[in-house]
Amino acid sequence: ILHIATASLSHAAPILSAAISAGFRESGVQSLKNLTDPNAIPMVAVRSAGLAFESVIGIVRGDSAQTAKNCASNEDGRQEEEVIEALVGEEYLEMLVDVANERFEANSERIRRFEASLFGGMERKMWGDWEDKETRQERKKAEGLRRRDELKANHNLQGPVDGGSDESDMELGQLEEIK
């Protein structure tokens, strides 16, 4: 089971969709609070029991108290080892290993599909205009420089009115100080 805490229900929805479409059919969204509460932190639980595999291949013989220990003392104080008895032959055990390996491979494929859906080319579609810190800083800097250049161009074209300074002169001066 993989649990992913999300900021909101709208952030949880694409993760849940990716999990279910990848084959994790038992996945869902849960929260300690009501999901309609704005302070709720939805948790996406990515899970699947469809590839679970169990088989009895042997038993441990002996007293039930002795089976709880690897090496137990009998009434005389002598050490007695557990007796493990195989119920299946080598051929059947090899077949079980093959089935288990096929299930591991199928689960690995589900995980690859889930990762591709989350981190692949769908990032913009799923997360909107989210950007990391460095990208945002670069974008804001470029926007600021472009705005400064526009203010300079407007100032040169219009010039100050009545020989005094206007609002754009103040903004331009503030931007020059920041530079």
- Its pTM stands at 0.52
Q: What is the rounded average pLDDT of the residues 102-114?
A: 92
- Indicate whether 175 pLDDT > 60: no
Find the mean pLDDT for residues 131-160.
Answer: 85
Q: Which residue has the higher pLDDT, 76 or 143?
A: 143
Residues 84-107 have pLDDT tens digits of 899 999 999 999 999 999 999 999
Q: What's residue 36's pLDDT? A: 73
Confidence band, pLDDT 50/70/90 cuts, at residue 76? low
Find tokens 């932190």 and name the residue. Answer: 41
Measured CA to CA in angstroms, residue 82 lies from 60, 87, 89, 155 at distances of 7, 16, 20, 92
Residue 133 vs residue 66, higher pLDDT: 133
Q: Which has the higher per-residue pLDDT, 131 or 46?
A: 46
What single DSSP character describes residue 25? T
From the CA atom positions of the chain, what is the Rg in Å?
Answer: 33
Which pLDDT score, from 0 to 100, does residue 74 have? Answer: 55
pLDDT of 151 over the 50 cut: yes
What pLDDT is stored for residue 67 in this prediction?
46
Asked if residues 168 and 147 have their Cβ atoms less than 8 Å apart, the reply is no
